[in-house]
Amino acid sequence: MIRPIEYTVLLEAPQTQTFQIRMRIRGVESGHLEVALPVWRQGKYAVINPASTIRSVTAENGAGKALAITKTDKTTWRIEPNGAAEVVVSYTVYANSLNDRTRHVDDTHAFLSGGAVFLYVPDRRNDAIAVHLDAPADWRVACGLKHEAGNPRTLLAPTYDVLIDSPIEIGLHDAFCFELDGKPHDVVVWGDARFDSDRIERDFAKIIKAEAAIFGDLPYDRYVFILHVSPGLRGGTEHLNSTVMQLPQRAFEDESQYKVLLSLTAHEMFHTWNVKRLRPAALSRVDLSKENYTDLLWFCEGTTSYYDELIPVRAGLVKPETYLADIAESIYQRRARPGTRVQSVAESSFDAWIKFNASSPDDVNAVVSYYDAGALISLVFDLELRRRSNNAASLDKLLRDMYERFPVEGPGFTTRDLIESATRLTGFRFEHFFQRYVYGTQRLPFEDLFDVAGLEMEAKDTEAHSYIGLLLQDENDACVVRSVLSDGPAYLAGVNPGDKIVSMNGRSFKAADLMVHVDRQMAPGDTVWLQILRRNRMRRIEFNLETKLNPRWNIRKVAAPTPEQKAAYSSWLGLDF
């Protein structure tokens, strides 16, 4: 079948990490034609300019006659078709960006995330597309897209937006498939990995079932897990009916790494509903040429992160004690971070493009993660929904309500819709909650909330420890300041990120040892003398240690739970009290 736009991917010398793309555009009518590459990719709210690795862009008409082509901005080209109805644009792509999950080619595979490699015609994003893959004969294709009947190397996409939300993995990889609800789930593993496919199938299926129970459906015909395994890899990206998950070596053999994989799987799968279908208005029809602003990433990513820890508990893969200990640690970390009192999660969402996704040593004082902070606010939101409704409402029920009211083909939702849903489910007005914790930076009231599920917080250690307010790391045998916390004494004394601490009170230290020494051997009020090397000059900075009351916590069951508390615990964690 002839499609208005066809790409041919020519993987003739993958060992060079380059390949060619030939883009055939049919039905050209206008006096000139623009083609462009997106400046960002779905799932990562940062301008990354993938056009930086595109070169040798040429154009010709359908008969092979060269056409004039001019670059008009960093990511756009203008072609003069001279009346041609068919234009072919050819270009070379250098693909060596595995870690950001955009494009990577070598002699074992090609991983292509469409928005980083396929040019598009900005006013023809709704045209149907075919992609022909011309690759070594023994390479196999994995992709969420349908393929031409009998030809897995010709992929079909109804629109450009679907193409760029369906990454392509082609190469030498291990693969297996399992069925759930009659729907095939392909698992493809690229990289050196030994794994137990039965265990993965069993555990993935439990996770998917626990999530489908919240939303009430499996909104795809087929799902593809693309796993990349290589040293140092981590993280994943959600797509329409597929995901790319990146794992370090031994990810399947080491139990703590395997737990990370389960959480990552729960996260990326959860996006199948939250973000890929239920999505904010601002992310419904995105502008691919610039930033798209929303103050709801805390819900897109934070709520998804909340569930990526909770779902493995409900699926029976993680013990509730482990989960509660992880929450307690997150509460401690949040309260230790001065930025918590500066940036709200709504601001963190809106400014993701220039702050959270463009890190600075001062982030700890000025930025919160819409993932981590968003997850804790989602936990507070869940407990508050339960508390205000005698456990009749919950975040599960709010998600189901939103999912049903805001189908993917609609305009998307806003914060007002979230508040409206919470208010309707509980009969309690949620405006103040959002003002305080989503748009404001008020301390999250965990101490008052766990009671709804028959739990209580107990401080592990109420003693006042000495506080220096530095984050340190060892670099080339030197103890280097990574960040200076604005609520500690080193900040006003003038210690800066990048300073090398040659000695403290006359002794040299490794980074971790210095922190332990301050904590265990010194007291609030004690004087600290730092010998610091900054821009090749020695200087001496002196100040007194302070204290900061921020205990770590145990979250434990109350002694005499009521039936209501037991019921809330059980519907929250999916097991008996």
Q: For the segment 298-337, give every residue that binds Zn ion (CB under 5 A).
A: 301
Q: How far is the CB of 140 from Zn ion (least distance, A)?
A: 27
Q: How far is the CB of 368 from Zn ion (least distance, A)?
A: 16
Phi then psi for residue 442, to 5 deg, are -70, 150
Residue closer to Zn ion by CB (options 60, 301) is: 301
Report strand pairing: 553-557 vs 546-547: unpaired
* Angle at which helices 255-270 and 197-215 cross, to 10°: 40
Residue with Cβ nearer Zn ion (270 or 434): 270
What six digits make up the tokens of 295? 């103050």
If the CB atoms of residues 203 and 301 are measured against Zn ion, the closer one turns out to be: 301
* Closest CB to Zn ion among residues 115, 488: 115
Least distance in Å: CB of 269 to Zn ion? 11
Within 10 Å of residue 531's Cβ, how many Cβ atoms? 17
**Smaller CB separation from Zn ion, 42 or 343:** 42
DSSP code string of 338-389: GGGGT--HHHHHHTTTTTTTS--TTHHHH---TTHHHHHHHHHHHHHHHHHT
Q: How far apart are CA 434 and CA 414, in angstroms?
A: 13
Shortest Å distance, C-beta 272 to Zn ion: 11
- Nearest Cα to Cα of residue 511 among 468, 558, 475, 557: 475
Alpha-helix runs per DSSP H in 170-246: 197-215
- Judged by beta carbon, residue 301 or residue 396, the one nearer Zn ion is 301
The residue at minimum Cβ distance from Zn ion is 301
Q: In this complex, which beta carbon is closest to Zn ion, that of residue 307 or of residue 543?
A: 307
Polymer length in residues for the chain = 577
| Stretch 474-493 residues interacting with Zn ion (CB under 5 A) | none
Q: What is the DSSP code (8-state) at residue 288?
A: T
The nearest distance, CB 374 to Zn ion, in angstroms, is 10
- Note whether 105 and 95 are within 8 A (CB): yes
Q: How far is the CB of 235 from Zn ion (least distance, A)?
A: 9
Residue 236 CB, nearest approach to Zn ion (Å): 7
Write down the least CB distance from residue 220 to Zn ion, Å. Answer: 17
Q: How far is the CB of 294 from Zn ion (least distance, A)?
A: 14
Task: Measure the CA–CA gap between 295 and 166, rounded to whole angstroms.
Answer: 26
How many whole angstroms separate alpha carbon 569 and alpha carbon 552?
22
Name the residue nearer to Zn ion (CB basis): 170 or 345. 345
How many residues bind Zn ion (CB under 5 A)? The answer is 1
- Residue in 420, 403, 415 with CA at minimum distance from that of residue 295: 415
The gap from C-alpha 183 to its chain's centroid, in whole angstroms, comes to 26
For 264-296, b/e burial (b = at least 16 CB within 10 A) is bbbbbbbbbbbbbbbbbbbbeebebbebeebbb
| Other CB atoms within 10 A of residue 548 CB | 16
The site map against Zn ion for 276-305 (x = CB under 5 A) is -------------------------x----
Nearer to Zn ion, 43 or 339 (CB): 43
Nearest Cα neighbor of 524 from 463, 482, 479, 472 is: 463
Write down the H helix ranges in 123-188: 160-163
Give whichever of 301 and 499 is closer to Zn ion, judged by the CB atom: 301
CB of 305 to Zn ion, least distance (A): 7
| Contacting positions for Zn ion (CB under 5 A) | 301
